[in-house]
Amino acid sequence: MSEKPVPSLRPYQREAVGRVIEHFRGSDDPAVVVLPTGSGKSLVIAELARLARGRVLVLAHVRELVEQNHAKYLAYGLEADIFSAGLGRKEAERQVVFGSVQSVVRGLDRFASPASGQGNFTLLVIDECHRVSPAEDASYRRVIERLRSANPRLKVLGLTATPYRLGQGFIYHRHHHGMVRGEADCFFQECVFEQPLRLMVKQGYLAEPVRVDAAVERYDFSALTPTTSGLFREEELNRVVAGHRATPGIIAEVIERARDRQGVMLFAASVAHAEEILGYLPAEESALITGETPSAERERIIDAFKVRKLKYLVNVAVLTTGFDAPHVDLIVILRPTESVSLYQQIAGRGLRLSPGKRDCLILDYAGNPWDLYAPEVGSPKPTGDSEPVQVECPACGHANLFWGKRDGDLVIEHFGRRCQGLVLSNRARPRAKSVTSTSTSTAMEQCSFRFRFKVCGDCGAENDIAARRCHGCGVQLVDADDKLKEALRLRDARVLRVAGMQLEATVNGRGLPRLKVTYHDEDGTTLAEWFALETPAQRGAFAAAFLREHLRVPGVPFRPETPEQVIAERHRLRHPDFVVGRRVGRHWQVREKLFDYVGRFRRAVEAE
């Protein structure tokens, strides 16, 4: 009997496998591989499981992924167990086990001690690893800790198309391109490989997404704001779409555009919205799946859709991951998406290749602002008109990606705090192993340059604007609210809730040119400060004392030599939220300026 041929890996899949092996040879830090939807994560998982010397557990959150990953491994002619109640199997004896996290966490005793004739698990692979919660009592973390208690050197690998979580940002700390993404305490420390979606499309591995501006009226979700978790409330979404007069016209246009399409997926805003949409679609060709759809019914509908007995499949946020129907070539988005990652997951349902499929049409009726190819910034969008912008670090030269604003190609504002670049560490570290890049054995650390900061009053160190303790001397930093309360109690102090800032070229008592900066509150009360720019030393002091904090695009070179030059470029500057002045003789002197204020006091902008 001839052996089955080993599945052939694409070049990027081989590179991903190689990077993972290289990383785990030198480190036990949890790692991430980022591959777009439809790029063949299952094959990468199968190859890694085949090459592993010890036991391997592959986890996923839905049974469809468990089954899919298991099938790719069987294609090698190898055997593996399945541990999933949804698939009716609870096996955990072979070297490689594919399981659902819900079943495994309920049967941890089967995984904590070696199976007969087997050792402890040495590799844990997590598919759709952006679902791993930072909470230590969450299901994935409980599995990890139990396996680690048996094998402290357990290697943990995550794979995902979207390496971010709402409310957390990036799920990993460092990227193999030499930059910092998430916080230092992220569970996953290193992204060892990432394949860009644009490159996948260009190389012909994925269908081209074609986004079309719909001609009919859209839904207006602009007044809605996400909850603290970053998600929209279903009842608020439903208020926008329930019985909306645009819905019949929207669905009529969808049907018209779907005439020459093979499979259509529609993403509704709520269950009631989905049911209304279904009522306008051809009944014999359409079906609806929600979170409440019984398992057997859901399976029947999905099977009918995959074999093309159904053309239209409506769902409410349940088919964004773990769903594979390659013939889908029309995606209809009828809800706001909270992040570019969710937008990518939705669009990804239609990007797989299929015979006769030329591209994937994306119709967005919710006015989502996301660019499918644009990378995630990793922090919440600060304003509705923000977009990803590139800002070079003046210290290390790293090209940072921050939220910001453009005027054409010119970046006119950004909201970055600290450079994301990795630089060679200038000090020996006892924990060097945990900060080792996969591409070099040299210890790396995050560049120390801060675009926005607050200064420690004790040692002068620059700290993150949200820091509670100084990273330099460890002293507790004074809270902005405490500063304001203390100033308000003093008779010789003046606190301005700044509504605006004026710049004026003037002269001092000796006739020397000066820049006068006047801050005013909502009632017209003012505080002012003066700056000299005649000598290099004075211009350096102005840059340090004023420009570093006031620039809308900090880090971008701006070295004015006269007050007139500052005034001509005043669009580059922002005003503080609060200014605190103290009386000195007959005059007031600016002592404190608070930027990026978040606290109990109202800012002037909030009254507008």
Closest to 415 measured CA to CA, from 466, 370, 368, 476: 466
State pLDDT tens for residues 498-557: 999 999 999 988 889 999 999 999 999 999 999 999 999 999 999 988 998 999 999 888
Identify the CATH homologous superfamily for domain 11-195.
P-loop containing nucleotide triphosphate hydrolases (3.40.50.300)
Q: Which residues contact 500 (CB under 8 A, 6 or more apart)?
A: 519, 520, 575
Please determine, for residue 375, whether its predicted confidence score (pLDDT) is greater than 60.
yes
387 in Cβ contact with 405 (< 8 Å): yes
State pLDDT tens for residues 381-438: 777 778 889 999 999 999 999 999 988 888 999 999 999 999 987 654 444 344 444 4
Beta-sheet pairing, 454-455 with 462-463: antiparallel
DSSP 133: -
Helix ranges, 10-89 (H): 11-26, 41-51, 63-74
- For residue 557, the model assigns a pLDDT of 83
Rounded to the nearest 5°, which phi and psi values hold at 205? -85, -20
- For residue 4, the model assigns a pLDDT of 58
- Could you give the angle at which helices 63-74 and 41-51 cross, rounded to 10 degrees? 60
What is the mean pLDDT of the segment spanning 276-290? 95
Give the whole-angstrom CA distance, residue 168 versus residue 164. 7
- The alpha carbon dihedral of 17, 18, 20, 25 has a sign of positive
Beta-sheet pairing, 121-127 with 55-60: parallel
164 in Cβ contact with 198 (< 8 Å): no
Beta-sheet pairing, 359-364 with 208-213: parallel
State pLDDT tens for residues 235-265: 888 888 887 888 999 999 999 999 999 999 9
What is the mean pLDDT of the segment spanning 589-600? 91
For the chain, give the percent of residues with pLDDT over 70. 93
**Does CATH number 3.40.50.300 belong to domain 207-364?**
yes
Can you read off the two tokens belonging to residue 167?
A: 């409310």
Q: Report the number of secondary-structure helices (H) and strands (E) in the chain.
A: 16, 30
Residue 168 confidence class, pLDDT cut points 50, 70, 90: confident
446 in Cβ contact with 418 (< 8 Å): yes
What is the mean pLDDT of the segment spanning 127-135? 91
The residue type found at 21 is I
The residue type found at 93 is E
Give the whole-angstrom CA distance, residue 334 versus residue 33. 31
Mean pLDDT for the chain overall: 88
For the chain, give the percent of residues with pLDDT over 90. 60
- For residue 465, the model assigns a pLDDT of 87
Q: Which residues contact 531 (CB under 8 A, 6 or more apart)?
A: 514, 515, 517, 538, 541, 542, 545, 546, 563
Largest CA distance in the chain: 101
Please determine, for residue 174, whether its predicted confidence score (pLDDT) is greater than 90.
yes
Give the whole-angstrom CA distance, residue 571 versus residue 405. 13
- For residue 229, the model assigns a pLDDT of 62
132 in Cβ contact with 141 (< 8 Å): yes
What is the mean pLDDT of the segment spanning 463-488? 90
State pLDDT tens for residues 190-211: 999 999 999 999 999 999 999 8
Q: What is the 3-state secondary structure (H, E, C) of 75-111?
A: CCCCCCEEEEHHHCEECCCCCEEEEEHHHHHHCCHHH
Can you read off the two tokens belonging to residue 260?
A: 């020459």
**Angle subtended at Cα 402 by Cα 400 and Cα 406, rounded to the nearest 5 degrees:** 110
Q: Which of 37-41, 125-129, 214-218 is modeled with the greatest confidence?
A: 125-129
- For residues 340, 341, 344, 346, the Cα torsion angle rounded to the nearest 10 degrees is -110
Please determine, for residue 117, whether its predicted confidence score (pLDDT) is greater than 70.
no
Please determine, for residue 215, whether its predicted confidence score (pLDDT) is greater than 90.
no
